[in-house]
Homo-oligomer: A and B are copies of this chain.
Amino acid sequence: MVDDIQQSKIIEIVELGDERGLLSVIEGNLTIPFDVKRVFYIYGTKEGIRRGFHAHYKTRQALISVSGSCKVYLDDLKRKDNVTLDSPKKILILEPNDWHEMYDFSPDCVLLVLASHYYDPEDYIRDYDKFVEVYGNGIL
């Protein structure tokens, strides 16, 4: 299980804390392996919701739960994994070929996502069979 989590490319950043409170920093192409073109955040997620259900052709992403917690299910056709994001210090890197689903959002969860590309609906693979076709390479 630890091996699986390591495969899922989690980056732990150092929290800059002092008598005022806490601060964490992520620099594009330094802390994470790509420049940040797009930032989005998911919040006010209803109880029991599971969302995501897609992979990408190009977009790489960094996910951080900056408030509360949630879980991420990942599948790159070589391994399936479940990662808990429960700290502003913990960054999960998603490659384009990581099919991902987010679930178990706490009511106060704010999931911050830093993306390598602008929004482009053509870059989403929302059909699992298509995902297997694109990334399967005869594995399945």
Contact = CB atoms under 8 A, between A and B. Distances in A.
> Interface residues of A toward B: which range?
35 or more
Contacts of A26: 38-40
A59 interface: no
Interface string A18-51: 0111111111101000011111111111100101
A118 B23 contact: no
Interface stretch (A4-12, A76-84, A108-116): A108-116
A44 B19 CA distance: 10
A63 interface: no
A118 B20 CA distance: 22
Contacts of A30: 118
A126 to B, nearest CB: 14
Interface of A: 17, 19-28, 30, 35-46, 49, 51, 66-67, 88, 105, 108, 110, 112, 114, 118-119
